[in-house]
Amino acid sequence: MHTIRPGCVLFSFIFLAVTSQSLGCSAVGFWVGANLDNEPQTTEVVPSSYATVEPGSEIRIVLQDGSETTGTFGGQGRLAEKEYAERYNAWRRNQSGDSALPRIGDEFSLLRPSPATDGVSGSLVGFDPHWIHIRSPKGDKELNFWNLALERVYDKRGESIEMRSIKARMERGDIPFMSYIVVFNEEAMTKIPAEKIRKLHLEPSKYRKWVGLLAGLALDFTAYLIYQSIRW
């Protein structure tokens, strides 16, 4: 069985473009796409932008322990509150007294540095990269706070933890998060908790030459129809 090499395909389209004016855009589109496919650069995606990654994109994940995994991005999800509470509270029982954070459902207060906004109280729902989720005192809605906009966390006993300490633990993956991402690979579908991810890289597509070819063919076909209509 003969293998068709990409170089031969590209040469064929260039040859046709030279000998026939009707395939010029196709050859150019294929050539541009092929050059983009050969670019080795990857794009790092920050946690706040996971939701913008297109499902089906090829990704490479660097985990907190230094290991790596690759696959196809399947989307971002969030654990149900009950499931997360069980996981978080099990983790919390293994923490020392000085560093223990509030339990899920515990009442606590967040102090913001701006005097105009003062503080806000509620019950803990959970954590996510850069975010703390709390339930309003009436329990009717969830409030989300960016951790950089907070100064301290106070529990119902008045004990406080500096936000920079919590932020550092978030970045190390020490605190369980509610969100996760779905990855598909040859083995199976995997849900990776967000706190286990150190970096997520978006791998360059290897199909852009074919996208360029199809776009070029569409332009060539349109030009051909216009040319024929002018002739007649």
- pLDDT for position 204: 74
- pLDDT for position 101: 83
Q: Report CA-CA distances (Å) from 54 to 46, 194, 206.
A: 14, 17, 15
> Angle, to 10 degrees, between the axis of helix 208-231 and the axis of helix 24-37?
170
What are the structural domains of the chain? 1-41+204-232 (no CATH), 42-78+178-203 (2.30.30.100), 80-177 (2.30.30.100)
- pLDDT for position 185: 87
Contact predicate 213/13, CB 8 Å? yes
| pTM over cut 0.75 | no
Q: Which residues of 164-200 are buried (b: 16+ CB within 10 A; e: fewer)?
A: eebeebbeebebbbbbbbbbeeeeeeeebebbbbbeb
Cα three-residue angle 144-168-139, rounded to 5 degrees: 20
The span from the CA of 105 to the CA of 107, in Å, is 6
- pLDDT for position 201: 93
- pLDDT for position 99: 60
- pLDDT for position 175: 93
Q: Which residues of the chain have pLDDT under 70?
A: 1-41, 96-99, 112-118, 148, 205-232
- pLDDT for position 10: 47
